[in-house]
Amino acid sequence: MEGRTGAAVAGLALVVAAPLGAQSSPPSPSAPLEVPYVIDTLDNGLTLIVHEDHSAPVVTVNVWYHVGSGDEKLGRTGFAHLFEHLMFMGSQHAPYPEFDRRLEAAGANNNGSTNEDRTNYFESGPANALPLMLWLEADRMGWMLPTMDSAKVDLQRDVVKNERRQGVDNQPYGRANETIIAMLYPKEHPYSWPVIGSMVDLSAASLEDVKDFFRRYYAPNNASIVVAGDVKADDVKALVEKYFGAIPRGPAIQRAQPVAVKLTGDTAAVLEDRVQLPRLYYTWHTVKGWEPNDAALSLAAYILTGAKNARLTQKMVYDQQIASSVFAYQDGKRLDGDFAVVATARPGKSLPELQQVIDAEIARLAAEGPTARELEQAKNSYESGFLSSLERVGGKANQLNAYYYQIGEPDGFQRDLERYRAVTAADVQRVVREYLSGPRVVLSIVPEGRRDLAARPRVTP
């Protein structure tokens, strides 16, 4: 969830199978994909990852705090996202609005985002702005609490509430996500509430609650920093030691590991909304990110809706013209995963008509598996998107941080690519049978007063 606007990241060139700091030509299909890096850990627990790319005089600083909405507690939700906003409100040596003002004067930009598992912040710009970027990040990591007061918390609390009004409460179909996750997970599960939190919890958050959250999670031993671009690893390490070395380590964090959730049967709900077209949501429990079936489920989503000739898209949008859009995705997160199919009806069409086609195509994929052509197209599309995301230094920086948090190894690029390349037609058929044929959450969002357009319960033998 983006908390601020703008922030395109700059940079060029994927480094492949080259020594640190060197450049090479694009890989052959058999060449290993490597993004060289140096990793260090400061005495206070802060992890530093440096990737040298001298193809353009730019740099990105990418900071991950290993905390998201999944680390919150029932009754105190929305803190991770609230902090994403508070982190731009000034610190002891860079009072508001110095953070943005100084970066803009240096020709740099910045942004942040929050999801269930992490909060990230990043700056990108000319390489000579690196000391400024690191100094600003260090100041808000180590010297933000002295400037935090009720006025700042109240101001950003109101900003987040307004963001919720615009993006959830007053947005067409805006209540879908929080309705689905409340049906998909038990009330105490960390994924059962939305990243943005609830109005009640945001109102209840006290200044001391907010400070406690910062002390616990915004500590160097719960963060990792990637610096990527036209830099020297030794120079970066010296700067990070200079600016971050005095920040004290925070408390050790013991994260909850909830048991895997399974639905015992289909669960359905109908929401009336100020919309013109009914929309259908199917959601199933699946697997965490990086578990063995994660890649096969992602390719199954592409085969169903990822292209104009994908099974559901071709049949529903183009052939029968009963849907204006349909898309599917696998979302493997740190604690759990889910798979969704979302379809919006055309004018004059009802959700049972969409159900009939979706159910039939999923059953056919489970019975027959994908064709060789479908699987090849899905893999080629994934690989193309994967490599395109690494053309800019900012994309590589964020991926290095993601791999470090997810699998403990920053250079997971080849391993990530290989798990998709290794998927077989039988794998896709198996995961569709195993996960998409079982119990599901079914949500219908219909125009006000038109419950007759809602999805129907599944008829089982």
Write down the catalytic residue from 52, 84, 116, 353. 84
pLDDT in tens, 404-455: 999 999 999 999 999 999 999 999 999 999 999 999 999 999 999 999 999 9
> 18 pLDDT band (50/70/90 cuts)?
very low
Query: So what's the pLDDT on residue 446?
Result: 98
In this structure, are residues 22 and 196 in contact, taking their beta carbons and an 8 Å threshold? no
pLDDT in tens, 78-123: 999 998 999 999 999 999 999 999 999 999 999 999 999 999 999 9
DSSP track, 206-233: -HHHHHHHHHHHSSGGGEEEEEEES--H
Query: So what's the pLDDT on residue 256?
Result: 79
Does the pLDDT value for residue 459 go beyond 80? no
Q: What separation in angstroms does the CA of 422 have from each of 16, 375, 419, 428?
A: 21, 11, 5, 11
The CATH code of the domain at 38-244 is 3.30.830.10
Q: Which of 283, 288, 284, 282 is nearest to 259 (CA)?
A: 288
Does the pLDDT value for residue 357 go beyond 80? yes
Query: So what's the pLDDT on residue 22?
Result: 37
Averaged pLDDT for residues 254-281: 93
Q: Where are the domains of the chain?
A: 38-244, 267-453
Query: So what's the pLDDT on residue 460?
Result: 65
Averaged pLDDT for residues 6-25: 33
Residues whose CB is less than 8 angstroms from the CB of residue 156 and which lie 6 or more positions away in sequence, other chains included? 82, 85, 86, 89
Does the pLDDT value for residue 26 go beyond 50? no
> 257 pLDDT band (50/70/90 cuts)?
confident
DSSP state of 287: -
Residues whose CB is less than 8 angstroms from the CB of residue 321 and which lie 6 or more positions away in sequence, other chains included? 346
Tell me how far apart the alpha carbons of residues 216 and 210 are, in angstroms, rounded to a whole number: 10
> 25 pLDDT band (50/70/90 cuts)?
very low
SS3 assignment, position 328: strand
Query: So what's the pLDDT on residue 11?
Result: 28
> 205 pLDDT band (50/70/90 cuts)?
confident
Does the pLDDT value for residue 144 go beyond 60? yes
Does the pLDDT value for residue 24 go beyond 80? no
% of the chain with per-residue pLDDT over 70: 93
* Type of residue found at 64: W
Query: So what's the pLDDT on residue 4?
Result: 41
Averaged pLDDT for residues 325-353: 98
Per CATH, 38-244 and 267-453 having the same topology is answered yes
Q: When comparing pLDDT for 220 and 20, which is higher?
A: 220
Across the chain, mean pLDDT equals 92
Does the pLDDT value for residue 21 go beyond 70? no
Token representation of residue 345: 């009806």
Q: Is the pTM of this model over 0.85?
A: yes
Query: So what's the pLDDT on residue 8?
Result: 28
pLDDT in tens, 177-186: 999 999 999 9
pLDDT in tens, 212-236: 999 999 999 999 999 999 999 999 9
Annotated catalytic residue 84: yes
In this structure, are residues 411 and 34 in contact, taking their beta carbons and an 8 Å threshold? yes
> 334 pLDDT band (50/70/90 cuts)?
very high
pLDDT in tens, 282-300: 999 999 999 999 999 999 9
pLDDT in tens, 231-252: 999 999 999 999 999 999 999 9
Does the pLDDT value for residue 16 go beyond 80? no
Does the pLDDT value for residue 12 go beyond 50? no
The CATH code of the domain at 267-453 is 3.30.830.10
